[in-house]
Amino acid sequence: MMERIGRWVLWSLLMWSVQASAQKLILSTFDYESPIMEGVATLMQGLYEAEGLSFEVRRLPGRRSLMEANSGRVDGELVRIALPRSEFPHLVPVPEPLLTIHVGAWGFHPGISGVKSWNDLKGMRIAALRGMLLAEANLDGEVIWSSTVRSLFEMLDRQRVDAIILPDEIVAMAVRRQGLMPGEMYRSATLASFDVYHYLNERHAALAERLAKRIRELKSTGEWQKRLEGLLDVNIREGSAETLPE
């Protein structure tokens, strides 16, 4: 009798362990620091907890991160622009945008403030983060790719490139938190503004719909934007020289 009870207890503990571990998803994302990704991770953790779930973030090079999520080796992608279904058929977006991102070209030369479009960058030496699909699509491969934000700023500082392509939020983080670029910088006009989404592998399609519903509910009360503003805390003026805080 005691042996049977012992086996039952052992089996129950095993099942509890399996169920507990099954509640934790693995999400991939870019392998560099960003207030965008950090803010989204914080917001999404709250939504996952409301669903009785949690997740762990695995940082990988940009394109590899997408491949891992699309193949199902991880459960999803933390934050991405709208992805072509033809290239990533097994990724399902949570059908409610997380936030809008603004991307510009940044450099030391005053002429950068006169850049109004991607075409205006032709002939310049441009650097961007590896896996940044937007830069891949608009610059026809004429880009020096880097794996870290720090190395982009180092290339700019050493005059190896004329401009770097980054979202405003990442530039602000690099300057304010790490002191990478003291002094004056110039920003182009906004080259792109786009919504970003949370993605899940297709096996979690039902969860995607539930998360979207929760995001919409928070947006309807203004709470989503309030939380975002608190997490990002970014305000960068467009199109003119400015001294960025160290």
Backbone dihedral angles phi then psi of residue 47, each to the nearest 5 degrees: -70, -40
Asked if 161 contacts 155 with a C-beta cutoff of 8 angstroms, the reply is yes
Q: In the prediction, which pLDDT does 181 show?
A: 59
Q: In the prediction, which pLDDT does 90 show?
A: 98
Strands (E), 2-75: 24-30, 54-60
Percent of the chain's residues with pLDDT above 90: 56
| Mean pLDDT computed over 53-72 | 95
Residue 102 bridge partners (DSSP) = 193
Q: In the prediction, which pLDDT does 11 show?
A: 45
Backbone dihedral angles phi then psi of residue 206, each to the nearest 5 degrees: -65, -35
Three-state DSSP at 77 gives: strand
**Torsion angle, CA of 213/218/220/221, rounded to 10 degrees?**
150
pTM above 0.85, yes or no: no
- Position 14 confidence tier, pLDDT thresholds 50, 70, 90: very low
Tens of pLDDT, residues 145-190: 988 888 898 999 899 999 999 998 788 777 776 666 555 789 999 9
Q: What's 163's DSSP letter?
A: E
| Mean pLDDT computed over 121-148 | 87
Per-residue pLDDT at 195 exceeds 50: yes
Mean residue pLDDT across the chain: 83
Cα 75 from Cα 56, distance rounded (Å): 10
Three-state DSSP at 100 gives: strand
Asked if 169 contacts 37 with a C-beta cutoff of 8 angstroms, the reply is no
Sign of torsion, CA 199 201 205 210? negative
Q: In the prediction, which pLDDT does 165 show?
A: 96
Tens of pLDDT, residues 201-245: 999 999 999 999 999 999 999 999 888 877 765 433 333 333 332
Residue type, 36: I
Backbone dihedral angles phi then psi of residue 232, each to the nearest 5 degrees: -85, -45
